[in-house]
Amino acid sequence: MPPRVPSRPSGRSTLPPPRKRLGQHFLHDTRALDAIVEALGPLEGRTVVEIGPGRGALTERLVDRAARVIAIELDSQLAERLRQQYAARDDVQIVESDVLDVALGELANGPYVLAGNVPYYITTPILFHALAAPRPDVAVYLVQREVADRMAASPGSKTYGALSVNLQAFVDVRFVRAVGPGSFHPPPAVDSAIVRVVPRETPIIEPALEDTFRQFVIGAFGLRRKQMLRVLRTLRGVTPEQGEAVLRAVGVAPDARPEVLTPTQFAAIVRQLASAG
């Protein structure tokens, strides 16, 4: 057990001002911070990778509970501040880098969970970056409310789209709670929310077809008001007969629109298209 050295950041006066360009909105609402930690589940004995620790409000809670914390921060001043704060802790590692340049699973080097009040300007790339195997056992993100709604949306709902399908093909998404702008310093212009993401036991699309699946889903929602037969004809150049045969084989009505199809139905179509050559 590494020594639990009490660690406090140096005084507030030494804090650099928030950098808008890096999406710096620091969470100070203790209930929201606790909700993130609670959504991660038991942390005893676990490795946590934190994205964008900033001034360390969440980090502080994680290091008290987990066996190991690896925090990835792009801002060199904040990274340096955290390095000093945790210098005496060999169970805390501060990595100064763009999170998108870091292979998260390799860095963790074993099972891990992921947490982050993520910079909103790169939320979607981060969500997909964290889908690369080996995936975290659980990931808890604080994101824009509108993104959280899209992540967790069900077929047929207003917010259901390519993001929902492309995530839900690999993970289960649960909306945890909303967080208002007043919970941050400085307050962002938008509402936020905490979401919990857990990998599906069996992803609904096989690794060899993942890229095709993602592209097909994005293309289909680019034509979201069109019927699926038209979508297939436009995206894949099939004849009406071929398109109908593909859709019939997977039990999807030719006049259904992309916005009502489940991720499983999208996967079935992509698989059928692949096997039909």
Give the binding site for ligand SAM (CB under 6 A).
Answer: 22-27, 52-55, 57-58, 72-75, 78, 98-100, 117, 119, 122
Give the shortest CB-22-to-ligand SAM separation in angstroms: 4
Give the shortest CB-36-to-ligand SAM separation in angstroms: 8
Give the shortest CB-44-to-ligand SAM separation in angstroms: 22
- Length of the chain, please? 277
In the complex with ligand SAM, the residue whose CB is nearer, 73 or 149, is 73
In the complex with ligand SAM, the residue whose CB is nearer, 24 or 85, is 24
Cα 147 to Cα 164: distance, rounded to the nearest angstrom: 9
Cα 44 to Cα 46: distance, rounded to the nearest angstrom: 6
Residue number, nearest CB to ligand SAM: 52
Give the shortest CB-89-to-ligand SAM separation in angstroms: 18
Give the DSSP letter string of 87-138. Answer: TT-TTEEEEES-GGGS-HHHHHTSS-EEEEE--GGGHHHHHHHTTSSSPPS-
In the complex with ligand SAM, the residue whose CB is nearer, 113 or 204, is 113
Q: How does 185-219 read in b/e, with b if 16+ C-beta sit within 10 Å?
A: eeebeeebbbbbbbbeeebbbeeeebeebbebbee
In the complex with ligand SAM, the residue whose CB is nearer, 15 or 238, is 15
Give the shortest CB-170-to-ligand SAM separation in angstroms: 22
Distances (CA, A) of 89 to 82, 113, 272: 11, 20, 53
In the complex with ligand SAM, the residue whose CB is nearer, 178 or 250, is 178
